Structures are given as C-alpha cells and as structure tokens.
Amino acid sequence: MTRVLVSEKLADRGLELLRSAGHDVDVRLEMSPDQLIEAIVGAHALIVRSATDVTDDVLAAGTDLIVVGRAGIGLDNVDVEAATRRGVMVVNAPQSNILSAAEHAVALLLAQARNIPQANADLVAGKWARSKWEGVELHGKTLGVVGLGRIGALVAQRALSFGMRLCAFDPYVSPERARQMGVELLTLEELMAESDFVTIHLPKTAETAGLIGADILAKAKPGIRIVNAARGGILDEDALLEALRSGQVGGAALDVFSTEPCTDSPLFLEPNVVVTPHLGASTHEAQDKAGVTIAEQVNLALAGDFVPFAVNVAATEVSEVVRPFLPLAEQLGRCFACLNDGIPDRLDVEYQGGLAGANPSILTLAVLKGVFAAGTEEPVSYVNAPQLAEERGLVVREASTATTRDYVNLLTLRSAEHSIAGTLSGPRSEPRIVVVDDHVVEVPPAEHMLVVRNDDRPGMIGVVGTALGEAGVSISSMAVGPSRTGNTALMVLSTDRGVPDDTFTLLQASDGIVDIHRITAS
C-alpha cells in the first residue's frame, strides 16, 4: 500500500478519492519543518497547500517520494528544480480557482462602479444617503484588461455581457487571438489613456512589479477606476493613493496588497476605494476543485499513468544528450520573448548536431516554458506549454539537422524579426548565447542583459558604457558582433542589475543606436 502524506487541510472529496484508490492517507496538520522531514520518510506522495515549504532537505529525506502535489496554482513553496533533479514529479491544480478569481474581479468591478460596500456601511449605520453614493453604469464604458490569460479572458467574456468595449495589454497574445475574443490589443499607455475601468490579471514577476506606477497613472484617462485581484505590488499603492487624492484616478477596488496580510493602509481611508482580504480563490467550489484535482493527479502519478498537470519532467526520463540543455532551452525562450517584446506569430526551433538525433522535443517544451514564463498568471509546465501556445496564437515549428558548422550542438530560435541561438561550452558544459539576430557573439545567459544594435562606427561602446555607468549599472560581461554587411554591430551585455527606465529611454534616443532590448533570462 502506498502512503500519501497530507500536511494541510484538503477537501474531504479529495481525501476520499485518495482512499478509494487504495492509498494509506496520513493527514498531519501544522507540522514544523523538522517534523515534516521526519514524517516524509516512507511516504510515496506529499500533498501541500501554501503553508508547507517543500525544500531540498524535505525531498532528500523522502527517498520513496514519487510525487509532490500542490493543491492550488502557485509553486513558490516547492523546490521544483530539486524535485526534478531527484526524479520526483510535481503536480498542481492550475485551473481550480480561475473561475472564482474571475468572478471576484467582476464583483469588485461592480462594487466599485456602484459604491456597494460604502452604501451598505452607511445604511447599517442608520444613514439613508442615496445621493452620496451615486454610481456609474458599465454599459458603453471601456474596460482595459491588463493580462489576457485565462482569468483575464473570463473577465473579458463577462464584461462583454454588460455591453462594455474591450481592450487589452498583453504582449503574449497574438492580434488574431485577440480579435477572436472581441478585444483590441493596445500598449499599456494607450490602454490606460482610453479605459474607463482597468482590471489587472498578471503574474507578479520582476518585469511586472510596479508596472502601474506614477508615470503610467499620470497618462491615464482622468477618473479611471482600477481593479486589482491579481497580485499585490503590480499596482504601486503609494502612486495609487496620490492619484486618488488628486482625482486622476476616480476609484479603486483591491483584493491584493504589496504586503499581506494587510490590515492597515491609508488606502482604506479613501471613500472611493473598495477592499477585500485576498478572497479571489476563497470559494467553497475553488477549494473543493483544488482538493479533487490534486487527488486525481496524485492517483495518476502513483499509478504510473499520464499526469495532465505535471509541472516538471523527471530527469531520469530525459536522454543524457538532451538533459543538460533543458535550463539553456528555457533561458533562450525567455530571451526570445524579450527580444520580440512578447511573442511573435511564429516560433521556429532548430536543432543542429548531436541534439538532432536525440529526440529533443522536450527542449521545445522547455523553450515554451521560457517564452511564457513572465506572461501568464499560472505556472507554465511542460504539459500546458503547448496549450498556452495554441491559446495565444503562437505557431511552433521544429526542424533538425545532424550537421553543424561551428558547434557540436546548437539550439536556435527564430521569428520573422529576431533569432537567438545557444549551446553548451567547455568541459563543464556551461551555457552560452552564441548568436543573436544572426550576429555571432558569445556570452553566458544572465539575469539582466541588454541587447543593442548600433551603427558600426567608433565610440558606440563608449556611449552605452557611459550611460550605464552614470546609472550605477555595472557590466559583468560583453560581446560584440559585427553584421555581415558591416553597416551595423550588435552588443550583448550582462549587467549586475536591471537597466533603469530613464537610462533605457536615453539609450533608445541616442544617435547611432538602431534598436535596444532589455532581457531577463532567469
């Protein structure tokens, strides 16, 4: 009999599914880290929610572990890399709360438009203040959806029924896909300038933190109303407060905050702000779905069957030739998305050398993981990456050739506008980016990178170096590749931190710089 250790409260239906499959279900709540390490010994599966940290030490102690299940979407508390290295499958329940989250965002939208919480509080306090809480209709108004993933798409569908005009900002959705949904794609600045209401549905990443700040709010349509039921910190709360007090923002409805739990904020004192304590997934149905879904996934994993919501691939299932390239493939995918400022209509993946004969399709999935890493509100897995590509309108094509001129193995990603290629180099198989936009370079992937195409003339390296130095940004490594025509050159730089917006804008406008992109490769 297999033993399933459950460290947090799980829906009864989920527990019953595990027991009916013949597993010994061991429920131990509120364990300390040391108690978890002791309890994991002999367990074949571990099911957690958000409070249990599944560290490498826990995985090391669980020598019989086959699968770790997270009853929810986020995986911040699970060391997926360590699990993959140890051959332990990690599964989650990515669709369990999307409907609840979308409905809560719509509820906040209506509550903000009609001042429902404020009017309720007044009436309970004995005040009949009808004129004070006059609202606005949604019909005919423009809703800007920031992030058109699964939750954002559900909100958009529901907003259509109110007769709202829809626009969206999402670099990871193709124009054709947006047209099918009845949504107009805009830049973030354009969306903020045209929208009466804005709803946020992005993941919290280095790129999205503080995305909607003072500069963006200053460019918004006066009186705009903002809903954030995604993640705290995407909307700058200090900037929001100032914009509310000045009247630039007409109201806000917030379910999430930069620091949680949040029980004291100056935003709570603003009469045109509606707040809830992170209730997006807090429905009976969502919790029940999470428990049932994770039990189903764990049962499949323990039975050795296909697991739809696996978020990793056990390292033992990948060939020795392909396995070392998995991290590089994901990094190249992330770089490719940054070069294209999102996703293009087409992605060509080419394998050259020994990779071509080693069944490298798993690397295409790793590439897609990297491409979508910063653009969806749910974790991207080897299993759901192709589905995300289809949903977002990305056509993926693979090609292989056993010959390569300069490298033993080469992995190349290409769109109509950009290309990037990488390989593993040296006795330690260290990852290297070796081609960017058909310019030969050699630089290791880094967390922060800058790609600059410039006129091929003296002084251009100095222009970039001086601007970065004045911003306090250090260059960690650098490669320069001239074009075959000799008219332009390409600089690829690794930096110790991200290039600030004002420095990036300055470089964009500098004489001799043709094109520039910031890349976050990890």
Which listed residue (44, 104, 231, 439) is catalytic? 231
d(CA 463, CA 13): 63
Assess whether 457 carries a catalytic annotation.
Answer: no
Q: Are 133 and 126 in contact (CB under 8 A)?
A: no
In 434-443, which positions are buried (b, 16+ CB within 10 angstroms) versus exposed (e)?
Answer: bbbbebbbeb
Which listed residue (278, 323, 346, 518) is catalytic? 278
Distances (CA, A) of 136 to 109, 114, 141, 257, 288: 11, 6, 9, 26, 36
Nearest Cα to 252, choosing from 243, 263, 265, 261? 243
Assess whether 278 carries a catalytic annotation.
Answer: yes
Assess whether 391 carries a catalytic annotation.
Answer: no
Tell me the β-bridge partners of 90: 68
φ, ψ for residue 517, nearest 5 deg: -140, 140
Which listed residue (38, 137, 260, 390) is catalytic? 260
DSSP string, 306-344: --TTB-S--GGGS-TTTGGGHHHHHHHHHHHHHHTTS--
d(CA 158, CA 103): 9
Distances (CA, A) of 167 to 20, 156, 189, 513: 47, 9, 12, 32
Q: Are 47 and 65 in contact (CB under 8 A)?
A: no
DSSP string, 112-137: HHHTHHHHHHHHHTT---TTTT----
DSSP string, 140-156: T-EEEEE--SHHHHHHH
Nearest Cα to 177, choosing from 148, 152, 147? 148
Q: Are 51 and 43 in contact (CB under 8 A)?
A: no
Nearest Cα to 65, choosing from 94, 22, 93, 36? 36
Q: Catalytic residue numbers?
A: 231, 260, 278
